Amino acid sequence: MTTTRGRGRPRDPETDTAILNAALELFVERGVEGTSIEQVAKRAGVGKLTVYRRWSTKEDLLAQAIERWVSDEVTPSAADVYALPPQAIVEHILPAAAEMAASPDFRALVARIMGSAVSHPSLMAVYWRHYILPRRELAAAMLRRAQQDGMVAPDADLDVLIDMMAGAVTYRVLQPDPPDAAEMLRYLTAVYRQAGLYPPAQQTHP
């Protein structure tokens, strides 16, 4: 590593990165039950207190490590969501979202997160509150706009519709024969289209 270490009080971004990377690796390898702050510190090459100074619980650390990996690219900005039509936003995020959703790391993460949801619900609770709920609020804003445009039924349950979109992707990547990036692009387009956030494949003129 080429970092300048040991500066004491001010947080060193490279130390944070090393800790978050180590946490994500251990989580994917061993799950939440098999990961401890001590192991993360050891793998990151830092002291246990260095980790605890930044994250008070294992769940906070893992949730941030997961979120950091789910790149900013695939989450539209709130400004875009409130300014642009849904189709423009979907088109903008689709390529990076397909790339990410088709990666083996994403599959492994989804399996670990889902797999720990019942045996160790505190991770899902922290991740949900801090990271998923804000993203769902953006998705709901897109869907409300699509309702105004007549693309989504006025009586649609938007929480259910968001679950159908997110649930389809997480379910699909855990099935046998997971899609590559090109197939995932087609798949995501079909999901957004079915939800009403993307126009029909073709206007047929018989």
Give the footprint of a second copy on this chain (CB under 8 A): 31, 104, 107-108, 110-112, 114-119, 121, 124-125, 128-129, 153, 155-157, 160-161, 163-172, 174-176, 187, 190-191, 194-195, 200-202
* Residue 77 Cβ vs a second copy, minimum distance, rounded to whole Å: 25
User: In terms of CB distance, is 84 or 168 closer to a second copy?
Assistant: 168
* Residue 155 Cβ vs a second copy, minimum distance, rounded to whole Å: 5
The counts of H helices and E strands in the chain are 11, 0
* Residue 10 Cβ vs a second copy, minimum distance, rounded to whole Å: 35
Q: Whole-angstrom Cα distance, residue 147 to residue 91?
A: 18
DSSP 130: I
User: In terms of CB distance, is 6 or 206 closer to a second copy?
Assistant: 206
* Residue 111 Cβ vs a second copy, minimum distance, rounded to whole Å: 4
User: In terms of CB distance, is 182 or 190 closer to a second copy?
Assistant: 190
Q: How far is CA 51 from CA 112, 122, 198, in A?
A: 22, 19, 43
Contacts of 120 (CB under 8 A, 6+ apart): 32, 33
Q: Are the CB atoms for 196 and 146 separated by under 8 Å?
A: yes
* Residue 148 Cβ vs a second copy, minimum distance, rounded to whole Å: 16
Q: Whole-angstrom Cα distance, residue 142 to residue 161?
A: 12
User: In terms of CB distance, is 84 or 94 closer to a second copy?
Assistant: 94
What the block records as the tokens of 40 is: 């993360």
User: In terms of CB distance, is 97 or 161 closer to a second copy?
Assistant: 161
